[in-house]
Amino acid sequence: MHKLLLSTVLLSIVVISSCSSQQAPALNESDVETFLERVELEDKTLGPVASSAYWLQANFITYDSQKVVADYGKRFQLLALDRQDKHLPLMMLKFQRKTEENSI
């Protein structure tokens, strides 16, 4: 009986806390610019390393070079997914502003 009561209380806490009405902070154009600057900096630093890995794989086709390219491909794919998930609202904000300008 005690276990049932405890699990009911815990479940209630989880349900109530997940239903909170906290909204995400309002985004503005400076957030978009900050995001784009960060993406450009990441691409400038990581791009040459990945290009070197692909050059290595193209010129020295070995098991190790295949593993290096697969690793960098996976890293860049995960980075792209992270950017998409975290910053899609920023991109939609910019698209929304352009749509509003075109409709006026």
Euclidean distance between CA atoms 83 and 37, whole angstroms: 13
Place of tokens 């910053």: 87
Tens-place pLDDT, residues 23-51: 556 667 777 788 888 888 988 888 888 88
Dist. CA 84–CA 61, nearest whole Å = 33
Q: Which residues of 36-53 are buried (b: 16+ CB within 10 A; e: fewer)?
A: eeeeeeeeeeeeeebeeb
The stretches in the chain having pLDDT less than 70 are 1-27, 91, 93-104
Q: How many percent of the chain have pLDDT more than 90?
A: 2
Q: State the pTM of this model.
A: 0.53
Minimal CA–CA distance to 59: which of 71, 47, 51? 51
Share of the chain above pLDDT 70, in %: 60
The pLDDT value recorded for residue 76 is: 87
